[in-house]
Each structure stands twice: as structure tokens, then as C-alpha cells.
């Protein structure tokens, strides 16, 4: 089953999950957005269980709409849209950056812009969209490089590529926030 609904530029696709005990259905949805860089999809689920697939379906779509409206605590799709989504400004920078993907790939580049959710890097090293990189950002005035455990390559254009941060420790997120605040005040 599974309904698909267009809502505020996003597509919500409900895909209820039948639990192993055979009695209940769990709400599960995929929210996707199509912009100039292609389609991004994310899946969300809620712990609420429903008696029928149809109920989980209906509630899934409603959950998706609340999510898009920013009314679900701790979950958001705000960072999926690249056009008007910038809750945090993207700041122009020129930071030396090194990146690596497992043992296969290592490179150095110049970060051209930075926001709390991602960055753009120029580098002679070729990367592929979808690859996950570990980043070290050498921002001025920080004692040691900022560390992003995992950032995924969203797009590649020539020698420039865009990254979305998806794993960063609390401490590093705070340091990143501080660097961004300093840049905005500067």
C-alpha cells in the first residue's frame, strides 16, 4: 500500500512497516525533495503503532506534513532543501581542509563556504556523489582542526563539491557553531 502526497514542495511517501509479531503496523515515511541538485530522500518513522496498515498510512502522511511544517520535536526536513532552506547562512570562507574516505581516498582542498550543516570544497582530488568523507577543517583561531566524522558528497561540479555533515560530535558541533558566530560578527 502506501500513499504518496505532494506537500509544500516535498513528496511524502507512506510505507507502513508490518511488525514481526503480525499484529501491528508502524508508521514509516519517506520524504523527498527535488531541487537543482537532484532528489534527496530521507526516511522517518515514529514509535506509535497502529492496528491496520491503512491507519498507519493516514497517520504517516499527517506525520510527514507536521514534519515539513517543523512541528515534530527533534526531527526536521529543513536542511533538505538547498534553495530557501538556509536556516543558517552560508558563509564565504577560505579554510584549508583535508578529507579522507576509508583508506582509499585522501585529499586536500580549500573550503569556499561553510554553514552548520555543510560546506563547499574546491580540490583537485576527484570525489563521487554519495561518498562519505571524514573532514578536518583548519579554521583560523582554533587550536586544532574541526573534525567532522562523516560528511556525504551531495554534488560534484568540476573541481568543486558540496558536502552535507551527517555525523559530528556534540563538542565539534559547538566548536563549528563558534567559528560560524565569529565569522558572522567579523
How far is Cα 7 from Cα 79, in angstroms, rounded to an integer? 16
Q: For residue 84, what pLDDT is reported?
A: 43
How far is Cα 165 from Cα 19, in angstroms, rounded to an integer? 32
How far is Cα 147 from Cα 89, in angstroms, rounded to an integer? 20
Domain assignment of residue 139, given as a range: 91-185
Q: Is 126 exposed, middle or buried (0-12, 13-18, 19+ CB in 10 A)?
A: exposed
User: What is the total count of domains within the chain?
Assistant: 2
Q: For residue 85, what pLDDT is reported?
A: 46
Mark whether 20 and 74 lie in a shared domain. yes
The answer to whether position 85 is within a domain reads no
The answer to whether position 86 is within a domain reads no
pTM above 0.75, yes or no: no
Give the residues of the chain that fall short of pLDDT 70.
Answer: 1, 35-38, 81-89, 103
How far is Cα 144 from Cα 150, in angstroms, rounded to an integer? 18
Residue 47's region, left for phi above 0, alpha for psi from -120 to 50, else beta, is alpha
Q: Where are the alpha helices (H) located in the chain, listed in sequence order?
A: 53-68, 170-185
Amino acid at each position: 500500500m502506501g500513499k504518496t502526497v505532494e506537500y509544500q514542495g516535498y513528496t511524502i511517501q507512506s510505507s507502513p512497516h508490518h511488525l514481526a509479531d503480525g499484529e501491528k503496523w508502524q508508521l514509516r515515511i519517506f520524504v523527498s525533495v527535488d531541487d537543482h541538485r537532484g532528489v534527496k530522500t530521507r526516511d522517518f518513522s515514529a514509535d506509535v503503532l497502529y492496528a491496520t496498515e491503512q491507519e498507519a498510512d493516514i497517520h504517516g502522511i499527517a506525520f510527514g506534513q507536521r514534519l515539513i511544517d517543523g512541528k515534530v520535536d527533534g526531527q526536521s526536513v529543513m536542511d533538505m532543501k538547498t534553495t530557501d532552506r538556509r536556516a543558517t547562512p552560508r558563509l564565504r570562507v577560505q579554510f584549508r581542509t583535508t578529507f579522507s574516505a576509508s583508506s582509499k581516498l585522501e585529499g586536500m582542498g580549500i573550503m569556499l563556504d561553510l554553514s552548520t550543516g555543510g560546506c563547499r570544497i574546491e580540490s583537485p582530488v576527484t570525489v563521487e556523489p554519495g561518498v562519505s568523507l571524514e573532514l578536518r577543517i583548519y579554521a583560523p583561531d582554533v587550536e586544532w582542526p574541526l573534525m567532522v566524522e562523516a560528511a556525504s558528497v551531495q554534488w560534484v561540479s568540476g573541481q568543486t563539491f558540496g558536502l552535507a555533515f551527517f555525523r559530528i560530535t556534540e563538542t565539534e558541533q559547538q566548536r563549528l557553531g563558534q567559528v560560524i558566530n565569529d565569522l558572522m560578527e567579523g
